[in-house]
């Protein structure tokens, strides 16, 4: 008997399935390879579920639209690739400052600018962390399989709703368009988090008055409780307030509600690390190649392992340090000129950290990682 919850999907299709399972009912976007399948499928699936799909004129408007929909109480998302992600950064700042839940799926491709529009890369790591200006945190999830595209998209919505924060799902062209078996969850199998709603008298509600967890309850437009949204530094009512003491208090809280919960938000997945003397540290499609390399090297009797980064930001520093504690050498393969490796060097400064980089629009293959490993022995 064929299980109805087992599907053969691409990464992009799995992201849509995850978003719908999480309760997303609004999508606004502008097609851009290699993420366009997400928009196409959203245009078909959302109306059938009573949701809404909007084709926007550009990515600036797309980001503004999902912010507006979220303020109306609807779980909202968009998808894009490098150039579109760049255009979204200003309104992403609005989502951070206004504490507006939403999800952005960024399918990485080779750049800069138009670059190689249909070739893979992993060079948006730092953009996902620092793309919008000012002091701010980031929540960025990095799937390495189609199953993880599904599961981490659901997790992205849960984190976004819980922390009142925009969350990024950072895939890459290869993971997004490869096809694998995916096991879909049944209704109720995974807890879905909804944003906290205000209680008490409407006249007492302050849009940005945090609870003890540093997260304010969020009303929706049209509720009896009045929700104010502003991109400017503001007080707890939502009125502009440029007092330095207030500014520091607000910026610190926005930062700490994410970085202060890194142990809950941050995830890694370890393979063969119990006896590893050398660890490969990677993410996305390159982690797949690294795991294959690990298996081939261990067949030779050498003790190597893999740490797959599932949460790029906030960076899971303590989990990484613990997983790699017994290793002498760390090798970081990534499809860029060296972005993840800088975080590994910062966190694991007592180790010999090595980098293998590729930035030509081609995937990194297991043999290349094995060769890079042999050169550091």
CA–CA distance, 295 with 298 (Å, rounded to integer): 5
pLDDT at 377: 82
| 279-to-40, 148, 355 alpha-carbon distances in Å | 39, 22, 12
pLDDT at 52: 98
CA–CA distance, 95 with 293 (Å, rounded to integer): 40
CA–CA distance, 132 with 22 (Å, rounded to integer): 26
pLDDT tens per residue across span 265-296: 999 999 999 999 999 999 999 999 999 999 99
Tell me whether the CATH fold assigned to 1-265 matches the one assigned to 270-374: yes
Highest CATH level, class, for 270-374 = alpha beta
- CATH homologous superfamily of 1-265 equals Thiamin diphosphate (ThDP)-binding fold, Pyr/PP domains (3.40.50.970)
CA-nearest of 45, 48, 57 to 14 is: 45
What is the 8-class DSSP label of residue 280? E
N residues, the chain: 377
| 60-to-92, 285, 334, 369 alpha-carbon distances in Å | 9, 28, 29, 39
Q: Do 107 and 31 contact (CB within 8 A), yes or no?
A: no
Domain chopping of the chain, boundaries: 1-265, 270-374
State the DSSP string of 81-115: EHHHHHHHHHHHHHHHHHT--EEEEEEE-B-STT-
CA–CA distance, 342 with 35 (Å, rounded to integer): 28
Residue pLDDT tens, the chain, 377 long: 456 799 999 999 999 999 999 999 999 999 999 999 999 999 999 999 999 999 999 999 999 999 999 999 999 999 999 999 999 999 999 999 999 999 999 999 999 999 998 899 999 999 999 999 999 999 999 999 999 999 999 999 999 999 999 999 999 999 999 999 999 999 999 999 999 999 999 999 999 999 999 999 999 999 999 999 999 999 999 999 999 999 999 999 999 999 999 999 999 999 999 999 999 999 999 999 999 999 999 999 999 999 999 999 999 999 999 999 999 999 999 999 999 999 999 999 999 999 999 999 999 999 999 999 999 98
pLDDT tens per residue across span 168-189: 999 999 999 999 999 999 999 9
Task: Give the Cβ contact number of residue 296 at 10 Å.
Answer: 15
pTM: 0.97
- The neighbouring-strand residues paired with 304 are 278
């Amino acid at each position: 008997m064929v299980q109805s919850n087992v599907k053969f999907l691409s990464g992009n299709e799995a992201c849509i399935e995850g978003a719908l399972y999480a309760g997303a009912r609004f999508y606004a976007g502008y097609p851009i390879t290699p993420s366009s399948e997400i928009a196409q499928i959203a245009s078909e699936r959302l109306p059938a579920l009573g949701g809404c799909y909007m084709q926007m004129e550009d990515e600036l408007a797309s980001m503004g639209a999902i912010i507006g929909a979220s303020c109306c109480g609807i779980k909202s998302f968009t998808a894009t690739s490098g150039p579109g992600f760049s255009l979204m950064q200003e309104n992403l700042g609005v989502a951070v400052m206004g504490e507006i839940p939403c999800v952005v799926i960024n399918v990485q491709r080779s750049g800069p600018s138009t670059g190689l529009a249909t070739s893979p890369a992993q060079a948006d790591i730092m953009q996902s962390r620092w793309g919008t200006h000012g002091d701010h945190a980031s929540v960025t999830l990095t799937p390495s399989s189609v199953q993880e595209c599904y599961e981490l998209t659901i997790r992205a919505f849960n984190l976004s709703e819980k922390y009142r924060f925009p969350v990024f799902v950072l895939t890459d062209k290869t993971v997004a368009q490869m096809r694998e078996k995916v096991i879909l969850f049944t209704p109720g199998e995974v807890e879905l988090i909804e944003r906290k709603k205000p209680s008490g008298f409407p006249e007492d509600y302050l849009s940005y008055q945090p609870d003890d967890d540093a997260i304010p309850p969020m009303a929706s437009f049209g509720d009896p409780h009045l929700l104010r949204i502003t991109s400017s530094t503001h007080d707890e009512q939502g009125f502009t307030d440029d007092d330095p003491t207030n500014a520091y208090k607000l910026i610190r809280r926005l930062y700490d509600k994410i970085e202060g919960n890194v142990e809950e938000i941050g995830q890694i997945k370890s393979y063969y690390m119990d006896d590893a003397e050398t660890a490969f540290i990677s993410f996305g499609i390159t982690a797949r190649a690294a795991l294959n390399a690990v298996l081939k090297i261990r067949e030779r009797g050498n003790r190597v392992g893999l740490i797959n980064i599932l949460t790029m930001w906030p960076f899971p520093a303590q989990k990484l340090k613990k997983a790699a504690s017994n290793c002498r050498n760390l090798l970081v393969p990534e499809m860029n000129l060296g972005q993840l490796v800088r975080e590994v060097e910062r966190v694991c400064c007592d180790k010999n950290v090595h980098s293998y980089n590729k930035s030509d629009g081609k995937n990194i293959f297991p043999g290349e990682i094995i060769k890079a490993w042999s050169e550091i022995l």
